[in-house]
Structure 1
Amino acid sequence: MTGTKETGVAVGDAAGPGRLRRTADSVRREAQAVGRAARAAWRGPGRERDLAVQSLKAAGAALLAWLVAREWLEDPMALMAPWVALVLVQATVYSSLVQAGRQFAAICVGALVASGAQAITGDTTGALALSIPVLVLLSNWPRFGDQGIYAATTAVFTIATGTVSAVAVGHRLGQAALGAVIGIAVNALVLPPVHLRDVRENLAGLARETGDLLSTIAADLRDGEWDSQTAADWLAAAGRLQRRLDSLESARGWSRESLRLTSGLLRTLYRAPTVALPSEQEDERFGRVTGHVTALTRTLSVATDENRTPAAPDHTVLSRYGELLELIGNTCRAEADRLEQAGAASEAEPDERAEAEMRELHERLQRALREDAARQGPARTAVLGTLVLQAENLWAELLPEPRTDDTGPSE
């Protein structure tokens, strides 16, 4: 028994410093993340500054609602107005209006149900027991969205303060309406949130990450030392491209919503120029590029599986194919540079030398494809043919015929 206790103490002593180190490391990482966010917000426009501005706007709206209700209207219970104003400074003006309608409806329901429960029971505890379960269940109604819980919290405030008369209920609803008006007005008139930057950043990031992945594949193919694990890493990277594409779709949705109800004069109050966004056709184009890259990595993954019939082409052919992928990857990175130039009206001049090299490599691969078909049979030819097809698809998307201006109108 003694030995067990000593062992337990020793283990505890050893684990204690380890936990402390992990806790200290976690705190340090969080502090560093906060510091990076603060520096980014200070340096210039970006997500961090947007978050800081929205937070300060919400705090300012709450303070203004408190001053109006408490100091100007001399309301001794000026709670509802700043509370509603605080939560209605949303990420877009449109969502502020939608949330205002939902929240006001929830508050009305909560106040009316609480007053009815108080009138029936004549007791604070009984009124809470009667109304809260119903309201918490009702808060899950989809029409309320994520504002349904305010029905239950409003009931708690109403019953706890003992204000159940018609005048008191009307007073609380008026306070909620006042807070909603102030919150929406602050959000719409003070640096109205317009989310345009994320679209360009995500689109440029998708193009750059695609180029980096193609360059990685090209280097591995030229070195000749790639296996099933390498192919699995390529597939995982292609999956990350798909997640970036999902982020781009989400950013595009936020951009559309943030431009609703903020046209004209309101948009001129925005903290940064609302430069033209890349066309939504760019999203579709790089969506197709992502699909082609994913198909390419899957083909290479199949070629590494010894249990499958198709076999990879020889190293010389794959080395040429890697050179072609490297040139296509460079084109992707050039596209990323173009997209990062906010407001650029036209794409960069095409690299004629790179295009000539790609055409030459493509012709050599086509010859190798024909030679493989005659010499090594259809199994090895199938892999090379599929790889060449995916490269041609990428080439067609990234080096199309000369296009007109591909940037949309200033939104």
Structure 2
Amino acid sequence: MREEPREGHTVGRAVSAARVRDAARRDARSFGRAARAVWRGPGRERELLVQSLKAAAAALLAWLVAQVWLGDPMALMAPWVALVLVQATVYSSLVQGARQFTAMCIGALVASGAQAVTGDTTGALALSVPVLVLLSNWPRFGDQGIYAATTAVFTIATGTVSAVAVGHRLGQAALGAVIGVAVNALVLPPVHLRDVRKNLAALARETGEVLRAVAGDLREGEWDAQTAARRLDASVRLGRRVEALRSARGWSKESLRLTSGVLRALHRVPAGAVPPEEEDERFARVTGHVTALTRTLAVAADEDRTPAAPDAEVLRCYAELLELIGDTCRAEADRLLDAGARTDPLLDERTDRVMRDLHTRLQDGLREHAGQGAARTTVLGTLLLQAENLWADLDPGARDDDDHQARDACR
């Protein structure tokens, strides 16, 4: 009876130790991958390393200026502020610096007033800190509001509550802010353009993978409610990729603010490297068409719904069309990642010819389904419409040709 708890405890410790070892191995592998990425060339990992080194350098420089050159025996505020203000962009450094300095001024003034009223360190802390912590939640402070409370604690705990001492500390904070912003702006200014291209290429590639996966299921006749739900989830995940792309675009725009052409030239990625914003909207429409397409197939696979799936032969033809569109998406991804990549000059022509042939066969199938009932016709017509939308957004030339054909038919 007494041995069982010991055995259970031993097993539990062994399991915990195994989990710790696994976590340590994962962390070591992650660190190794990051180190290799830094060594290979420009990327997020190298940018993170540069920003970390810049923050450390700004803190050291602020310490040297405040403690060595100005002779301040308690030069703490300057390196502290300089370290924090080496932000991801020059614009955010300025904005965060203004917010932080304002919060620190308020904290120092409130702490001084609380000390004057109470005349006691504990009483001053009890009077000022709750108010400042509450004030730190003010949206205009962003995530810098907490510095009001920490500055008050630092001011009261060190006994520096006189007007001269408080002004001296705020002067140190201003010195650190100037050094932090200057280092961030002048030493390899952060310009985040590469993430836009990577996210856009990843969106194009994942869109092509979803379309090819749907095409494979339709060709093999394995389309059921479970498969439909899985592909629909995959298409919904493309929406999150679109949000990531828009976030990267926002960072790109912000990183170009307040950086002159000279400062941009110091960065290894030129401003022209970012794809035009119209590409974002184009692939956002493409992902919307993919989501609508998979949702239509999911409805057709649901036995409790009225719409019925088209014939297997027509679905196989549709699968060929989706596969070609998926290949086009992957080609777009390759083009985005390597603008100088050489491609087969006849590839687009052959693809366009095959897609037109498949499109014609699907329209013939649609006319045949019209005589078999409205349910099948509705599904196939919706699928064909989504494929046409995809084709038009991925190949604007095809859309122009269709417009010319339509005008010729009306004459």
- Shorter-chain TM-score bucket reads over 0.9
Q: Note the C-alpha offset of 1:343.
A: 8.2
1:333 aligned onto 2:318: no
Q: Note the C-alpha offset of 1:347.
A: 13
Task: Give the residue type in structure 2 aligned to 1:379.
Answer: A
Q: Which residue of structure 1 lines up, in the alignment, with residue 176 of structure 2?
A: 179
Q: Which residue of structure 1 lines up, in the alignment, with residue 409 of structure 2?
A: none
Structure 2 residue corresponding to 1:278, chosen from 275, 280, 288? 275
Runs of 4+ deviating beyond 6 Å: 346-350
3-state DSSP of counterpart to 2:74? coil
Q: Give runs of aligned pairs for residues 10-409 of structure 1, distance below 5 A.
A: 10-341=7-338, 351-374=348-371, 376-401=372-397
3-state DSSP of counterpart to 1:262? coil
Q: CA RMSD in A?
A: 1.8
Cα distance per residue 1:308-341 (max 9 Å; x no partner): 1111112111111000000001111111111112
Moved more, 234-243 or 244-253: 234-243
Unaligned runs of 5+ in 2: 400-411
Task: Give the residue type in structure 1 aligned to 2:210.
Answer: L
Task: Give the residue type in structure 2 aligned to 1:399.
Answer: D
State the alpha-carbon separation in 2 of the partners of residues 135 and 225 from structure 1.
62
State the alpha-carbon separation in 2 of the partners of residues 307 and 252 from structure 1.
42
Task: Give the residue type in structure 2 aligned to 1:24.
Answer: R
3-state DSSP of counterpart to 1:193? coil
Unaligned runs of 5+ in 1: 404-411
Count of matched residue positions in the alignment of Structure 1 and Structure 2: 398
State the alpha-carbon separation in 2 of the partners of residues 348 and 256 from structure 1.
35
State the alpha-carbon separation in 1 of the partners of residues 145 and 311 from structure 2.
63
Task: Give the residue type in structure 2 aligned to 1:279.
Answer: P
Task: Give the residue type in structure 2 aligned to 1:271.
Answer: R
3-state DSSP of counterpart to 2:272? coil
Task: Give the residue type in structure 2 aligned to 1:268.
Answer: A
Does the C-alpha gap of structure 1 residues 402 and 184 become closer, same or farther in structure 2, counting only changes over 3 Å? farther
Task: Give the residue type in structure 1 aligned to 2:289.
Answer: H
State the alpha-carbon separation in 1 of the partners of residues 171 and 126 from structure 2.
26
Q: Note the C-alpha offset of 1:8.
A: 3.0
TM-score scaled by length of structure 2:
0.94
State the alpha-carbon separation in 1 of the partners of residues 20 and 309 from structure 2.
49
Q: Note the C-alpha offset of 1:142.
A: 1.2
Q: Note the C-alpha offset of 1:402.
A: 8.1
3-state DSSP of counterpart to 2:92? helix
Does the C-alpha gap of structure 1 residues 297 and 217 become closer, same or farther in structure 2, counting only changes over 3 Å? same
State the alpha-carbon separation in 2 of the partners of residues 272 and 390 from structure 1.
37
Does the 8 A contact of 1:276 with 1:343 survive in 2? no
State the alpha-carbon separation in 2 of the partners of residues 356 and 347 from structure 1.
15
Does the C-alpha gap of structure 1 residues 63 and 154 become closer, same or farther in structure 2, counting only changes over 3 Å? same
Cα distance per residue 1:345-377 (max 9 Å; x no partner): x99886101100000001001111111111x21
3-state DSSP of counterpart to 2:333? helix
Q: Note the C-alpha offset of 1:12.
A: 2.6
Cα distance per residue 1:127-185 (max 9 Å; x no partner): 11111111111111111111000000001111111111111011001000000000000
State the alpha-carbon separation in 1 of the partners of residues 268 and 109 from structure 2.
42
Task: Give the residue type in structure 2 aligned to 1:398.
Answer: L
Cα distance per residue 1:40-91 (max 9 Å; x no partner): 0111000000111001100100000000000000000100000000000000
Does the 8 A contact of 1:193 with 1:270 survive in 2? yes
Does the C-alpha gap of structure 1 residues 160 and 218 become closer, same or farther in structure 2, counting only changes over 3 Å? same
Does the 8 A contact of 1:211 with 1:332 survive in 2? yes
Cα distance per residue 1:265-304 (max 9 Å; x no partner): 1111113333332111111110000000000000111111
State the alpha-carbon separation in 2 of the partners of residues 156 and 190 from structure 1.
33
TM-score scaled by length of structure 1:
0.94
State the alpha-carbon separation in 1 of the partners of residues 330 and 171 from structure 2.
56
State the alpha-carbon separation in 2 of the partners of residues 103 and 74 from structure 1.
25
State the alpha-carbon separation in 2 of the partners of residues 139 and 372 from structure 1.
65
State the alpha-carbon separation in 1 of the partners of residues 18 and 94 from structure 2.
47
Q: Which residue of structure 2 lines up, in the alignment, with residue 407 of structure 1?
A: none
Does the 8 A contact of 2:194 with 2:269 survive in 1? no
Does the 8 A contact of 1:224 with 1:315 survive in 2? yes
Q: Note the C-alpha offset of 1:226.
A: 2.2
Does the 8 A contact of 1:338 with 1:348 survive in 2? no
State the alpha-carbon separation in 1 of the partners of residues 344 and 110 from structure 2.
61
State the alpha-carbon separation in 1 of the partners of residues 340 and 10 from structure 2.
61
Q: Note the C-alpha offset of 1:9.
A: 3.0
State the alpha-carbon separation in 2 of the partners of residues 342 and 363 from structure 1.
33
State the alpha-carbon separation in 2 of the partners of residues 349 and 397 from structure 1.
20
Q: Note the C-alpha offset of 1:246.
A: 0.3
Task: Give the residue type in structure 1 aligned to 2:316.
Answer: S
